[in-house]
């Protein structure tokens, strides 16, 4: 007879035995990989099966955003300062990278919300939902990058050796987005306003990040852009993508180190909060 996993529930908090909790978290993370992949295949199939343009939707929305900002810039409605790349390329790469970050932020809450009925009926590692969100974001990011490289080649931008470092930038965007998503998920399950507010918040943050605007050089805007931890992620990933020399590599590494610590912290919060949230959802 195959061994069956036995779960014992006690009134004691998991925080009283941190090493044991970390071992259980790692075990559940490993166990959840197969289920996460099955959920990813299911959701991606549903996402693209009934669409005429299919995978092109991964690039259509960032492209539409790009065209809007190109029109605003060249018509003189918005005065955009000089960028390190031709402005169409600068804004197109920026919006595509931002779309990857957005997908990562939305994924945890969307996956958990879509699985409410399953959570109430089936006992499985909750980490599977987070991992499935990361898988799904990664697949969509790969589609975006492939289509983006094709578009850049048409625009006359050809990859250099720095393209080999781009996966590091994409991983950092997905990791940071997952941290933000995990931070918002417990509250988002209690109040649906959070899910509706995320696009508004991210739109506001986009204007404080060098996505469609260049880094300001002086004044308060320059300090805001420089202190924004998302700035080095977008700038460094864009530089690797287009063959430029990264100017904020040190800051990029610091942000990633902090993001890894926050990922562990919010993973613990997510793990501790889920039983309580599942009970409340069942009532």
Convert the pLDDT of each residue in 129-164 to its tens digit: 999 999 999 988 998 888 888 888 887 777 788 889
Which of 101, 95, 85, 87 has its CA nearest to residue 63? 95
∠ CA 46-49-50, nearest 5°, is 105
pTM given for the model:
0.86
Which residues have a Cβ under 8 Å from the Cβ of 216 and sit 6 or more positions away?
A: 81, 222, 225
Compute CA 211 distance to the chain's CA centroid, rounded to the nearest angstrom. 15
Average pLDDT, the chain: 84
Write out pLDDT tens, residues 45-104: 776 666 555 566 667 777 787 888 888 777 777 777 777 788 888 998 999 999 999 999
Q: Name the residue among 11, 8, 15 with its Cα closest to residue 271.
A: 15
**Which of 74, 144, 73 is closest to 102 using CA atoms?**
144
Q: Tens digits of per-residue pLDDT, 168-191?
A: 999 999 999 999 999 999 888 888
Whether pLDDT at 261 is above 80 = yes
Residues 240 and 149: beta-carbon distance below 8 Å: no
134, 107 in Cβ contact below 8 A? yes
Q: Count CA within 13 A, CB hemisphere, residue 267.
A: 22
């Amino acid at each position: 007879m195959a061994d069956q996993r036995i779960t014992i529930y006690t009134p004691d908090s998991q925080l009283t035995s941190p090493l044991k909790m970390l071992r259980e978290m790692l075990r559940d993370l490993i166990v959840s990989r197969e289920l996460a992949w099955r959920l990813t295949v299911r959701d991606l199939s549903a996402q693209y099966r009934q669409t005429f343009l299919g995978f092109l939707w991964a690039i259509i929305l960032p492209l539409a955003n790009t065209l809007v900002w190109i029109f605003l810039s060249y018509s003189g409605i918005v005065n955009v300062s000089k960028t390190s790349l031709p402005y169409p390329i600068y804004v197109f790469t920026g919006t595509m990278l931002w779309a990857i970050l957005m997908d990562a932020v939305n994924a945890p809450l969307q996956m958990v919300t879509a699985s409410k009925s399953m959570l109430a009926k089936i006992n499985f590692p909750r980490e599977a939902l987070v991992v499935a969100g990361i898988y799904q974001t990664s697949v969509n990011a790969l589609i975006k990058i492939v289509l983006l490289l094709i578009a850049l080649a048409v625009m006359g931008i050809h990859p250099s050796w720095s393209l080999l470092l781009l996966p590091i930038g994409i991983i950092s965007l997905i990791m940071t987005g997952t941290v933000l998503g995990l931070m918002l998920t417990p509250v988002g399950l209690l109040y649906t306003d959070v899910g509706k507010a995320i696009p508004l918040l991210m739109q506001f943050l986009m204007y404080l990040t060098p996505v469609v605007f260049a880094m300001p050089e002086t004044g308060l805007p320059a300090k805001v852009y420089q202190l924004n931890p998302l700035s080095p992620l977008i700038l460094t990933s864009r530089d690797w993508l287009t063959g430029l020399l990264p100017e904020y590599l040190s800051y990029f590494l610091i942000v990633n180190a902090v993001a890894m610590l926050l990922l562990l912290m919010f993973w613990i919060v997510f793990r501790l909060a889920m039983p309580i949230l599942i009970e409340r959802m069942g009532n």
